[in-house]
Amino acid sequence: MAIKDIEIEKKALAKEYKELLRVSYQTLSSDDKKLIRKAFDFAVDAHEHQRRISGEAYIFHPIAVAKIVAHEIGLDAISIAAALIHDVVEDNSNYSIQNINKIFGKDIARIVDGLTKISNLNKKTEASHQAENYRKMLLTLNEDVRVIIIKIADRLHNMQTLTCMPVEKQIKKASETLYIYAPLAHRIGLYNIKTELEDLGLKYTEPETYNDISKKLIENKKDQDEYIEKFNKSISKSLSKEKLKYIIKGRSKSIYSIRNKMIKQGISFDEVYDKFAVRIIYNANVKDEKFLAWKIYSIVTDHFTPNPIRLRDWISAPKSTGYEALHITVVGPKSKWVEVQIRSERMDEIAEKGYAAHYKYKQKSKKTDDSLDVWINKLQETLENPDANAVDFVEQFKLNLYAKEIFVFTPQGELKSLPVDATPLDFAFAIHTEVGLKTRGAKVNGKLVPLSKKLKSGDRVEILTSDKIIPSANWMDYATTARARSKIKSTLNAEKKNIAKEGKEKLRRKLKQLRLTLNDKITAELQKYFKLNTSLDLFYRVGINTIDNSMIKKFASSRSNVLISYIKNKIGRKPKLETEKEEITKKYDSLVFGNDEEKLDYKISTCCNPIPGDNVFGFITINDGIKIHKKNCPNALSMQSNYDYRIIKAKWIDSSQEEFTVSIDLTGIDKIGLLNNITNIISENMNINMRKLNLETDGGIFKGNIVISVKTNNLVTKLIDKLKKLNGIEKVKRL
């Protein structure tokens, strides 16, 4: 490297160090600055000869992570120092955790150790480690929440610099980010980081969608600014008259949230009415915050008509993430619906900085009850089952990360937060595990109700218990929270294991009579034969006699006739029945797989029903061969995050030989001639084969479903665009 370039890097490093101290959210003492300088110098030496794929000196990555930790998250000097040296042990064999402990002390050593374990896990690529990585990462929450927070900062910078990575790695990292890191950031209260992670995740998983919405938001920016100014002028006199110190600003909804709204409601970008929110941030003492929030609410609703069903009071009952605010939706300037968020400066700081701001104000007010603390403490029970299947574990953990909340009361009047759609059984487990396991019934507002009843905010819930009760399998249908499902499953699994143990011995004896020895190979063959995922399932079914002696005999006789092989070994090989398979691919195959663009047998998944023209990928199933999914399939993130080793590249090459069925829903205002207009566009104008048409009207509103046969996705898109333009059509959505 040229001397000139080295000097430029040294100057850049010095600038970054000063910037790190300048942007720190916490007030740094002289000892804090010394610690950060010590960690900075240590990291510079340790990463001296290392470079990132982009060619940039590696040291700029830990500095960037430390700046996110210092400014955007706002953690203390110990966290900043740990962020600076978080990759040292992993990337430099000259250093160990013991060295870090000796030089920086046990707190920083513990955090770096947790981060190093996570990084080492990510290096493993074996199939069985995929979901296990997430489980072990989540378990660090019990040790020190700062480990996860710094890891989120690390992931944010990685996503910000993902451009230079290969496309496959971009998609994998982005899928992981949307699957686990963004929900975690949300749950810890890091809303800004959550939003950026979601948008960056979408940028690489659905680039066309991301670019399209991003472009339209930029085009709308001028209109948004003008709207905020009009809103400000309308109420500023009234607010100032009350001698309130405040600012009013607008905040665009994230690209990711707009895309979600478009998909869920089946609407276009222009039909999303709340693309931004107005925030009124006021100065107040903690004791006056609630009073002033409602005073501002009163002023806003004096000027603009509120929507009474869109009031959200998260000041009286804060979200379990610590978030506090009043949200109202009003008919604002130009008669447009607009969401208004009313927050004090303290509330705004907590919304921006999350965990760190929460604890800053907690220490000032000396509060002991803290929702974030309660949540982290509850994790101990959620995470304690070491025998849980890793994928189930992660899915259960994720259940409540993004869940909207309701607030219900105990018989004593204590307020409890639960996710939307929670049941009395979830409430029982929220009180205590033993209460949940002994639940025999529930009363809601004094009336007996089924355990499956969905609770509503304001309900008073009483749990009836009995020592004779044992959880049954149908409880899994009643429970929605991760805590309840984990405990029920754990109890059921304990019983299942006892039966499976007896079943295993029974199977061993039967196989011995058939001159077969029960070992790993035979067990795997039996699992394949009976289409079971685990050996536990196999032994359990033998134990309860679902798999009986006659079925085991059939398996034994089939071994000499059937060759059982794993799906993965089939990929890349031409089928044995060459002539027959060639005929199939000529007539029906319109997909090619892998970098070599080979033709393989496949099935279309029913969860997203892709057709030619859709962006797709192949997923290698255990029993069903390759299944084709859309890249924006609802299950795509989970598959790409937990089973990326079973993902295979796929693309359409020729869709002229086969037609595909597509179902389209329509809603709108019923009028004479509308049906004729719809059929004209489909059959005459676009020459599309219509297989089914069903329209129903009720009170002047119609709902309809059309089933058509098409050859490409482009035709579907054009048809939907034309139908939307018809007078009377309100919504058109492809199922």
Query: pLDDT tens across 299-337, in order?
Result: 999 999 998 888 989 998 888 777 899 999 999 888 888
CATH no. for 660-734: 3.30.70.260
Residues in the chain: 735
Residues in CB range of 29: below 8 A, 6 or more apart? 77
Q: State residue 362's pLDDT score.
A: 62
Q: State residue 319's pLDDT score.
A: 80
The backbone torsions φ and ψ at residue 460, rounded to the nearest 5 degrees and listed phi first, read -105, 125
Q: Could you tell me if 250 and 279 are in contact, meaning their C-beta atoms sit under 8 angstroms apart?
A: yes
Q: How far is CA 530 from CA 82, 391, 408, 501, 535, in A?
A: 51, 22, 45, 18, 11
Contacts from 391-397 at CB under 8 Å and sequence distance 24+?
A: 391/131, 391/642, 392/489, 393/131, 393/135, 394/131, 394/134, 394/135, 394/138, 394/180, 394/642, 395/638, 396/482, 396/485, 396/486, 396/489, 397/138, 397/482
Cα separation, 326 vs 277, whole angstroms: 12
Q: Could you tell me if 688 and 659 are in contact, meaning their C-beta atoms sit under 8 angstroms apart?
A: no
The backbone torsions φ and ψ at residue 180, rounded to the nearest 5 degrees and listed phi first, read -130, -40
Segment 90-112 shows an average pLDDT of 90
pLDDT at residue 125 greater than cutoff 60 = no
CATH 3.30.360.10 is held by the domain 3-164? no
Q: State residue 586's pLDDT score.
A: 41
Cα separation, 370 vs 354, whole angstroms: 13
Q: State residue 584's pLDDT score.
A: 36
pLDDT at residue 387 greater than cutoff 60 = no
pLDDT at residue 565 greater than cutoff 70 = no
So where are the chain's domains? 3-164, 208-365, 373-490, 567-652, 660-734
Q: Exposed, middle or buried, 727 (CB in 10 Å: 0-12/13-18/19+)?
A: exposed
Annotation: CATH topology of 373-490: Ubiquitin-like (UB roll) (3.10.20)
Q: State residue 723's pLDDT score.
A: 85
Q: State residue 379's pLDDT score.
A: 52
Residue 360 pLDDT grade (very low, low, confident, very high; cuts 50, 70, 90): low
Is the alpha carbon torsion for 514, 518, 523, 525 positive or negative?
negative
Cα separation, 94 vs 149, whole angstroms: 26
For residues 100 and 55, the model is more confident at: 100
pLDDT at residue 192 greater than cutoff 80 = yes
pLDDT at residue 80 greater than cutoff 70 = yes
Q: Which CATH superfamily is domain 208-365 in?
A: Beta Polymerase, domain 2 (3.30.460.10)
Q: Report the predicted TM-score, pTM, of the whole model to 2 decimal places.
A: 0.68
Q: Exposed, middle or buried, 144 (CB in 10 Å: 0-12/13-18/19+)?
A: middle
Rounded to the nearest 10 degrees, what angle do helices 355-365 and 345-353 cross at?
140
The 10s digit of each residue's pLDDT in 41-75 is 999 999 988 888 888 889 999 999 999 999 888 88
Name the residue type at position 72.
Answer: E
For residues 393 and 593, the model is more confident at: 593
Q: State residue 59's pLDDT score.
A: 92
Task: Report percent pLDDT > 70 for the chain.
Answer: 83
Q: State residue 657's pLDDT score.
A: 52
The lowest-confidence range among 269-278, 411-420, 562-571 is: 562-571
Is the alpha carbon torsion for 416, 422, 424, 428 positive or negative?
negative
Q: Could you tell me if 503 and 478 are in contact, meaning their C-beta atoms sit under 8 angstroms apart?
A: no
Residue 576 pLDDT grade (very low, low, confident, very high; cuts 50, 70, 90): very low
Mean pLDDT of the chain: 82
Residue 568 pLDDT grade (very low, low, confident, very high; cuts 50, 70, 90): very low
